[in-house]
Structure 1
């Protein structure tokens, strides 16, 4: 009985640690150019995880708005824009939500997970059908 309780406590601590690891500020890195683009803050709302751009790193782009976004995000300032929405935990990753690229306004299905080899790297994958692209963001 004691072993069972210890095992349950271990699993609970492991899952709680995985969840808290994703929460925080991350520096976005463009996977094609290697350039640092912005700072995104990932946070919880209820049972779901969201992320918003809190700082655009290129000073000349800080006043830009999301002219290609649709719905309530149309023409909103990119700084402060919620780009990650409704992510739900699935084991050690987060899925079933979306990510929006403010450069073109396109929204993709999304998956987020902490890198197995480096806990300071967040893998961010956007999907269209079975095509995908993955970026690695750095923990601040």
Structure 2
């Protein structure tokens, strides 16, 4: 016959603790997965012509439920931290590219982010933008386009730790 004393937790109490622990672990795994598939973070961009690393862009929540991105570091061999967006035609005209917001208004739509804009500081043009993550959130496919998504180009950025 089994005997229980006050120091030995009941089978029901042990099971309840194990279920609670399993729930906490599952919640942590799901949160980590959701975070890794989010574009929020620091991304290494590439030069379209050379394929070489060009800059680091930090994507963050903008306070209205959307995402925005700004240049936090240039990586090119000829990068000049005092370089300005001389080709820009909006309020960013002649502003420093370092620290400049180049992505704005991105809203989540299922597994991708859409309805935003991206600025190409090289030519000053502003494109509509959509993006999605791949490879468990380690790559970000960024598409800039005019009018419809078919009329544009994509770049794959790599997440930085």
TM over 0.5: yes
After superposition, where does 1:17-28 map in structure 2 within 5 Å? Answer: 17=34, 21-28=38-45
Structure label with greater radius of gyration: 2
CA contact (8 A) 1:31 1:136 kept: no
Q: Alpha-carbon deviations, 1:6-37, whole Å to 9, x = none?
A: xxx98xx57x8158631110000124421110
Please report the RMSD computed on the Cα atoms of aligned residues, expressed in angstroms: 2.3
Deviation at 1:60, TM superposition (A): 3.8
Aligned to 1:80: 99
1:30 paired to 2:50: no
Measure the CA separation in 2 of the matches of 1:19 and 1:32: 29
1:100 paired to 2:119: yes
1:126 paired to 2:127: no
Structure 1: gaps of 5 or more residues? 1-8
Larger relative strand fraction:
1
Aligned to 2:56: 39
> SS where residue 34 of structure 2 aligns?
helix
Q: Alpha-carbon deviations, 1:40-81, whole Å to 9, x = none?
A: 000001211000000111354321100111221111100011
1:50 paired to 2:63: no
CA contact (8 A) 2:73 2:98 kept: yes
> SS where residue 38 of structure 2 aligns?
helix
> SS where residue 68 of structure 1 aligns?
coil
- C-alpha distance 27-56 of structure 1, shift in aligned 2 (>3 A): same
